[in-house]
Structure 1
Amino acid sequence: MNTLDAIRARRAVKHYDPAFTIPKEELEQLIDLAMQSPSSFNIQHWRLVNVTDPKIRMQLRAAAHDQAQVTDGSLLFVVCTDLKAWEKDPQRYWVNAPKEAQDILVPWINPFYAGNEQLQRDEAMRSVGILLQTMMLSAKAMGYDSCPMIGFDSDKVGQIIKLPKNYAVGAMLVVGKGIQSAWPKPGFISKTEMLIENHF
């Protein structure tokens, strides 16, 4: 499936075949595609907790208001973000870039983020959102369905996965073989409301 078709076909599917398992090589492909996502200063704030333990899945389902896709999907990721990734050896994010790019961009990272916790969180969450979209479109292109989720007790989820200090839970993402189509897309705001030219 090409990208344009995947964008139009992707839906948040809630019902999955619990007996279906995505092959390991396709999981690896999905992760490789996720790694292609852009992020601010190439910091790659995201951390994916791939939940394979059925007992932990059940705990997460309870924390997610008993939504069945948490246990029924082939894959369940708790998509987290490292809020302090910007200060963790930032040179490594630019190791393959030309030296002139490294010399300009790496020294910018600390002054850009230091002392501004709101910006640190905003950029980390933006990166999570970009990663989620990359993974959902990749899954669709691979013939799978997905469901991004924020309907859960974030603190409880953090406790279950033993979230480290200075990390945050951004969302959960289910990927698998859908067995029931989503309803038609519920509606769009008008393009005239969405698109503002030059200024409000």
Structure 2
Amino acid sequence: MDTQLAIQSRRSVKQFDPAHRLSEQEIESLISSAMLSPTAFNIQHWRFVLVRDAELRQGIRRVAWDQAQVTDASLLIVLCADLKAWQKQPERYWCNAPQAARDFLLPAIRQYYEGKPEVERDEAMRSCGMAAQTLMLTAKAMGYDSCPMDGFDFAEVGKLINLPSDHAIGLFVAVGKALQPAAPRGGQLSLEEVVVTDRFDSL
């Protein structure tokens, strides 16, 4: 599917066929595409938790406002990020770069993140968001639909998936075969309302 068409036709679907399954090859293609999403300093701190266990899905649904897509989607992905990935062998992220680039980037990574928990978390959320969009557009190009989700108890889901203490959950992405088309768009703002040239007007 053309990229522009995938962007225009992607919608958040709530009703999925619970009997449909994605193949292992399709799942690998989805995640491999998401792993091409950008991250600051190339630290690739996203972690994709593929929730396959039916009982665990039910448990997550109970703390996710009983939303059916948690259990009915073919694939439920909990997008998480390792907040301390920048500390963990950062030379891995630039192992194929020229030595001059490595000599510059490795100290820069530490300078950017060290002692700045807000920066760690902000980068985690940005990275999860970009990976989620890549997942959803890839799913659409493959003929599937998706739903990004943040309507759940983050702390309880963290307990259920045994989230490490130095990780954070960004959002869920549910992927599967839609049972019915998404409802029409509820309302789209105009370009004039959302585009600012150079700077905002003074108050």
Confirm or deny a common fold (TM above 0.5).
Answer: yes
1:18-60 Cα offsets, whole Å, 9 max, x none, are 1110111111111110110000001111111101000000000
Q: RMSD value over aligned CA atoms?
A: 0.9
How far apart, CA to CA, are the structure 1 residues paired with 2:101 and 2:5?
Answer: 35
- After TM superposition, give the deviation of residue 100 of structure 1 in Å: 2.4
How far apart, CA to CA, are the structure 2 residues paired with 1:23 and 1:115?
Answer: 43
Aligned-partner SS, 1:125: helix
Aligned-partner SS, 1:13: coil
Structure 1 residue 148 and structure 2 residue 148: aligned?
A: yes
TM-score (norm 2): 0.96
- After TM superposition, give the deviation of residue 186 of structure 1 in Å: 1.4
Matches within 5 A, 1:132-147: 132-147=132-147
Residue 29 of structure 1: aligned partner: 29
How far apart, CA to CA, are the structure 1 residues paired with 2:98 and 2:25?
Answer: 32
How far apart, CA to CA, are the structure 2 residues paired with 1:124 and 1:79?
Answer: 10
* One-letter amino acid of the structure 2 residue matched with residue 97 of structure 1: A
Residue 49 of structure 2: aligned partner: 49
- After TM superposition, give the deviation of residue 181 of structure 1 in Å: 1.1
How far apart, CA to CA, are the structure 2 residues paired with 1:136 and 1:95?
Answer: 30
* One-letter amino acid of the structure 1 residue matched with residue 176 of structure 2: G
- After TM superposition, give the deviation of residue 166 of structure 1 in Å: 1.3
Matches within 5 A, 1:4-153: 4-153=4-153
Residue 185 of structure 1: aligned partner: 185
Consecutive unaligned residues of structure 1, counting only runs of 5 or more, are: none
1:113-144 Cα offsets, whole Å, 9 max, x none, are 11111111001110000000010000000111
* Percent pairwise identity: 54
How far apart, CA to CA, are the structure 2 residues paired with 1:100 and 1:180?
Answer: 54
Aligned-partner SS, 2:179: strand
* One-letter amino acid of the structure 2 residue matched with residue 161 of structure 1: I
* One-letter amino acid of the structure 2 residue matched with residue 10 of structure 1: R
How far apart, CA to CA, are the structure 2 residues paired with 1:188 and 1:45?
Answer: 33
Q: How many correspondences in the alignment?
A: 200
1:144-165 Cα offsets, whole Å, 9 max, x none, are 1011100001111001001111
How far apart, CA to CA, are the structure 2 residues paired with 1:94 and 1:152?
Answer: 36
